[in-house]
Structure 1
Amino acid sequence: MENFSKLLKFLRNPHRKKIEQLKVRYQELDDLSNVAVEIEDATAYKSLQKEMREVFFDYLTAVVVDSVYKLVPHVLIIWVISLKWQSITVPIVNWQVNILAAYLLSYLIINVSQLLSNPIKSGLSKIGFPGFSRSSVVNKI
Structure 2
Amino acid sequence: MNMMAHRQLPPSAQDAAVARASGQLLSRYARDKAPLKLRVTDGEQAEPIELPAGAVALLMDILEAMAAGQGVTIMPENAELTTVQAAEVLNVSRPFLIKLLDKQQIPHRKVGKHRRIRMEDMMAYKASIDAERESVLDQLAAEAQEHDMGYNNP
TM-score (norm 2): 0.30
Structure 1 length normalisation: TM-score?
0.32
Higher relative contact order (CA 8 A, sep 6+): 2
